[in-house]
Structure 1
Amino acid sequence: MVAAPKKAVSGAKVERLPLSRFTTLGVGGEAEVWTVSDHEQLREAMEASYRILGGGSNLVVADAGLGERVIRLGGEFAETDLEAAPDSTPEHFVSGWVGGGVPLPGLLRKLRGLGLSGLEGTVGVPAQVGGAVWMNAGTRFGEMFDGLFELEIAAPGGVRQLSPSDLPWGYRHSAIPRNHIVTRIRLKLSRSTPETVGAKMEQADLARKGQPKMRTPGCAFKNPGGVSAGKLIDEAGLKGQQIGQAMISPEHANFIVNLGGAAASDVHALLALIRQRVGIQMELEYELWP
């Protein structure tokens, strides 16, 4: 019998919940979920083994769930300050703090309305800000670090603030350790117009037209050596391949979709099949829990 979740001393909300509720793929068993609103609650949540859950994209959670607690950012970590900071210039806008729990699509809509350019290449990424920075999410049109000025990271040892130059970041990678949480960021963006920013976003969004609209974690594999992972999977004859209720999308072979009622085990089986049939080393974009 699973023990009832403890009551947090700090006031954090603690519930035992199915993680399928929070993932874009819609699979995953139960875990103890801590929703934290400030640094005091976050410190308490980090006192035991934990994982951080953002928008739930790029994530496949085991059917059995997790023994670790799962932390979600709310409260002050879900607030957005887009007032111009004193270190802004006529050419560049520097923001106040934007919480790691802020949904990235909503942030992009606000930047478009303000005519602030630099993150258009991340349009369509269904992530929260913290997770998008942690993996340097993006598309071929741009990535999170393009507009990053400063970030705040929480770890069991405390909170620190860094600049992007403090991290060896790159393609879908930021070098932020796994147990560190991006709690807030500040942006540095070019001043433009809503029309120009909107046009850039529409160009990036147009490139996504061939992507599936069904439940999916996103791209399964990173492009190896600049070669399209989707093209390699397609050439292996795997488009439309189905195991259980999970399928390699007929629209784009680097996406696995949930047809309704898929299990994490179905997705793992498809990933293993892809690796076997493609025959070259490919690195996952998905996070696999546990």
Structure 2
Amino acid sequence: MRVERVLLKDYTTLGVGGPAELWTVETQEDLLKATEAPYRVLGNGSNLLVMDEGVPERVIRLAGEFATYDLRGWVGAGVLLPLLVQEAARQGLSGLEGLLGIPAQVGGAVKMNAGTRFGEMADALEAVEIFHEGSFHVYLPQELGFGYRQSRLPPGGIVTRVRLKLKERPLEEIRRRMAEVDAARKGQPKRKSAGCAFKNPPGQSAGRLIDERGFKGLRIGDAMVS
């Protein structure tokens, strides 16, 4: 385990965020120790806007055994989702193509049920291991209240591992599906971004509402609505 004072701007995709005490945990024992005081969990730092003042709580980041994976077994919550999507395709396993390009770690993707119009994280889950109140518990997806960009994890729970529901398919079929998803992403901004920050309200499209109100392109300093 490593504990250090850092600026969170170096750990977020937006490149903003003040000081914090970062606990990089590599084992279950590390996680037990790191959660002995108030904490927050940091994944890949996307969909995250951190105050310049920083945060007073410990910031926990999963590494070590939590960043290993076996696509036919358990996958650590600290694994990068883009890596997993590509590796699944390489092994001829289908089920993650709709998540192509989402800049998340697995744990964060589960927490917010990350997804696109082609699919979401909950679709690919068989089981989720969560650290909660000092012990590890395994949940079925239907127990976690997944919905549009949300879940109902136990309060303070930390996703540590998942088992994925993947199917063997011809590589050409998987690549074709990934190309379809990738084509839909071509118009997205290439500079620093928080990701897709606005949720669609019921029966509406957030993107369409932003366009209709003339907010697309609105800029304050170096921050812009795309």
Give the whole-Å Cα distance in 2 for the aligned partners of 1:77 and 1:185: 10
Count the aligned residue pairs.
226
Unaligned segments of structure 2, at least 5 residues: none
Given the alignment, which residue of 221, 229, 247 partners 2:224?
247
Q: How does 1:90-169 map onto structure 2 within 5 Å?
A: 95-169=72-146
Residue number in structure 2 paired with 1:64: 53
Cα shift readout 1:189-208 (whole Å, capped 9, x = no counterpart)? 11102211111111111111
Q: State whether residues 58 and 217 of structure 1, in contact with CA within 8 Å, keep that contact through their aligned partners in structure 2.
A: yes
Q: State whether residues 136 and 169 of structure 1, in contact with CA within 8 Å, keep that contact through their aligned partners in structure 2.
A: yes
Unaligned segments of structure 1, at least 5 residues: 1-11, 83-94, 250-290
Residue number in structure 1 paired with 2:211: 234
Give the whole-Å Cα distance in 1 for the aligned partners of 2:110 and 2:208: 27
- Residue 80 (str. 1) matches residue 69 (str. 2): yes
Give the whole-Å Cα distance in 1 for the aligned partners of 2:100 and 2:155: 25
Cα shift readout 1:25-74 (whole Å, capped 9, x = no counterpart)? 11000100000001100011001000000011110001100000100000
Give the whole-Å Cα distance in 2 for the aligned partners of 1:96 and 1:127: 20
Shift of 1:227: 1.6
Give the whole-Å Cα distance in 2 for the aligned partners of 1:166 and 1:45: 26
Shift of 1:178: 5.0
Give the whole-Å Cα distance in 1 for the aligned partners of 2:166 and 2:17: 37
Q: State whether residues 25 and 31 of structure 2, in contact with CA within 8 Å, keep that contact through their aligned partners in structure 1.
A: yes
Residue number in structure 1 paired with 2:10: 21
Q: State whether residues 132 and 154 of structure 2, in contact with CA within 8 Å, keep that contact through their aligned partners in structure 1.
A: no
TM-score (norm 2): 0.97
- Residue 42 (str. 1) matches residue 19 (str. 2): no
Cα shift readout 1:223-244 (whole Å, capped 9, x = no counterpart)? 1113211111111111221112
**Structure 2 counterpart SS, 1:226:** coil
Q: State whether residues 149 and 186 of structure 1, in contact with CA within 8 Å, keep that contact through their aligned partners in structure 2.
A: yes
**Counterpart residue identity of residue 198, structure 1:** R
CA RMSD of aligned residues (A): 1.0
**Structure 1 counterpart SS, 2:49:** strand
Cα shift readout 1:67-125 (whole Å, capped 9, x = no counterpart)? 0010000000000113xxxxxxxxxxxx2110000000001110001111111111110
TM-score (norm 1): 0.76
Percent of counterpart pairs with the same letter? 58
Which has the greater radius of gyration?
1
